[in-house]
Amino acid sequence: MEIFHISAECYPVAKVGGLADVVGALPKYQNNAGDKVRVVMPCYDTKFKKENDFECVYWGHVKLGDFNFPFNILKEKTDKLGFELYLVEIQELFDRKDVYGYQDDIERFLSFQIATLDWISGRSEVADVINCHDHHTGLIPFMMLYCHKYEKLRNIPSMITIHNGLYQGQFGFDKLYYLPEFDLAHVNVLEWDNCINSLAVAIKCAWAVTTVSPNYLNEINSSANGLESLFNLVRYKSRGILNGIDIEVWDPAKDAMLEKNYSIKNFEKGKQENKEKLCNLFNLDPTKPLFSFIGRLLEEKGGDLLPHAAALALSENYQQINILILGSGDKVIENQLNSLLQDYKGNYNTFIGYNEELAHLIYAGSDFLLMPSRVEPCGLNQMYSLRYGTIPIVRRTGGLRDTVIDFGDDGNGICHDQATVGDICYSIQRAVDLYDDKKHFNKIRKIGMSTDHSWERVCQEYIEMYKLIINKK
Ligand code: ADP
């Protein structure tokens, strides 16, 4: 089967969060399973772009209303990522350091989608299926169906995979003229809540909709930032497929970013050495349990609860626990977290920013990983932490509910139900007690390390979904 994945992120080319991890891994495993897989993404000014060789395989111009942007399609020469990687180079719009967060994001991602379709529709053989990811690629299923110049793509099945339904890529109808000419009889398809809503458009037009966990699919029927009724309507073509993890990149036995490699056979010693390295770096106490958080410091991740929960847990367990935070996001939360540094010196620290290497060391060297999320479509952190023998402490929501079971029910982690400071601190207290019972603690760590979340199994579910829509042709 020939598959195109179209995405704003892909690890290790450009990463902001879990979307990159998924699009960097799923295609590789699909390729290994015998499919022909290509990934298309924008060409940002990243280290990967600078350090690798590309050849130009196509060029053209994107017309966006009155603007005209020249573009090139660059192919990475060696296929070293395990699939064919294509970068859409539109210098004026993407030759920047960050992936998102610019005032012209609508123009940037719309141009990316148009350039991608211009190229794909010009190929002699297109593909069996086009898998779009999140709202940045949400207008593609619409354009394939209704834009005159993409008529050739009308019968190619498209699928939208939703990694996070909170972000929807809305913009006003004043920008309607950006779209290539299309059959105006279908203009109402673009509308949701008086805007053009890229994610809603994808949900309406794609032949299939997937979310990144089964439980998230259940939740968005009642809570989806305004799209609930739409999700209910398309239930017949939707499926929740739990994300996998790339067990080659995330392998404590081989991970080059760790201080000490280890496996399930010698994890106690291995983890302790990584913990000591972390504690040295951040002035923490290696003889006490270490609770960490990795992620975007936003309300959806429960980031606003962290400062108060950390202060309470640290004062209730004075000098008996460590807390380490890695992340960035809301400036108020960042400042609140930093304001605790003075009071809990020696047992608390933060790293405000993004650091891939440090994240790996934290998964390896921590005893517990905090995930007090309000919304978690799948969550990868808990799966990495399980694989590295670190016990996840999660709020039961989205994919966290699908992957973490409380140790009281013979599971692999610690769970609570409410996104509150009280629930987080109660779970931390249970974790402290578990830590003191070394035999039980090690048993739970081993259960986590032996959980199989590899893509090998999961990628078959994507293929099944593709086959379903191909058969509808
Ligand atoms: P998200 O909603 O952010 O996509 P996921 O759990 O799906 O959440 O994926 C998060 C990914 O981003 C993981 O690989 C995690 O290790 C990584 N990550 C998040 N924040 C940071 C950070 N500040 N530094 C390094 N890695 C980070």
Mean pLDDT computed over 271-296: 98
CB 44 within 8 A of CB 82: no
Q: Which of 7, 15, 21 to mutate to test the pocket of ligand 1 (most atoms within 8 A of CB)?
A: 21
Q: Which of 296, 357, 370, 382 to mutate to test the pocket of ligand 1 (most atoms within 8 A of CB)?
A: 296
- 327 CB near ligand 1 (under 6 Å): yes
- 381 CB near ligand 1 (under 6 Å): yes
Per residue in 304-354, pLDDT tens? 999 999 999 999 999 999 999 999 999 999 999 999 999 999 999 999 999
Percentage, residues of the chain above pLDDT 70: 100
Both tokens of 441, joined, read: 């603690």
Mean pLDDT computed over 384-396: 98
Distance (Å, whole) CA 42 – CA 105: 12
- 17 CB near ligand 1 (under 6 Å): yes
Both tokens of 460, joined, read: 């078959």
Distance (Å, whole) CA 168 – CA 152: 27
Taking CB atoms within 8 Å and a gap of at least 24, the contacts of 45-52 are 45/94, 45/95, 45/96, 45/97, 46/13, 46/14, 46/97, 48/12, 48/13, 48/14, 49/13, 49/87, 52/76, 52/77, 52/78, 52/80
What are the φ/ψ torsions at residue 299 (nearest 5 degrees)? -60, -40
DSSP code string of 42-53: E--S-HHHHHS-
CB 364 within 8 A of CB 258: yes
- Ligand 1 atom 8, closest CA: 18
472 has a pLDDT exceeding 90: no
Cis upstream peptide for 12 (omega within 30°): yes
106 has a pLDDT exceeding 90: yes
Fold of 267-451: Rossmann fold (3.40.50)
State the pLDDT at residue 324. Answer: 98
Q: What confidence category does residue 473 fall into, taking pLDDT thresholds of 50, 70 and 90?
A: confident
- 288 annotated among ligand-binding-site residues: no
- Ligand 1 atom 24, closest CA: 354
> Separation of 109 CA from ligand 1 center, angstroms?
22
Q: Which residue has the tokens 């579910």?
A: 461
- 355 CB near ligand 1 (under 6 Å): yes
Strand order in the sheet with 129-133: 54-64, 67-76, 84-89, 36-42, 2-6, 129-133, 158-162, 208-211, 238-240
Distance (Å, whole) CA 322 – CA 287: 10
- 9 CB near ligand 1 (under 6 Å): no
Per residue in 43-64, pLDDT tens? 999 999 999 999 999 999 999 9
Beta bridge partners of 39: 5, 85
> Separation of 414 CA from ligand 1 center, angstroms?
20
Q: What residues does each domain of the chain span? A: 2-244+456-471, 267-451
State the pLDDT at residue 289. Answer: 98
Q: Which of 349, 380, 390, 400 to mutate to test the pocket of ligand 1 (most atoms within 8 A of CB)?
A: 380
- 356 CB near ligand 1 (under 6 Å): yes
Q: Report the atom number in ligand 1 closest to the C-alpha of 356.
A: 25
- Ligand 1 atom 21, closest CA: 295
Q: Report the atom number in ligand 1 closest to the C-alpha of 164.
A: 2
Per residue in 133-151, pLDDT tens? 999 999 999 999 999 999 9
- 437 CB near ligand 1 (under 6 Å): no
- Ligand 1 atom 3, closest CA: 17
* DSSP secondary structure code for residue 225 in this structure: T
CATH for the stretch 2-244+456-471: 3.40.50.2000
Domains 2-244+456-471 and 267-451 share a fold: yes
DSSP code string of 266-321: SHHHHHHHHHHHHHHHHT--TTS-EEEEEEEESGGGTGGGHHHHHHHHHHHTTTT-
Distance (Å, whole) CA 163 – CA 134: 6
Alpha helices (H) in 11-104, listed in sequence order: 18-32, 47-51, 91-94
- 375 CB near ligand 1 (under 6 Å): no
State the pLDDT at residue 457. Answer: 83
Beta bridge partners of 406: 413
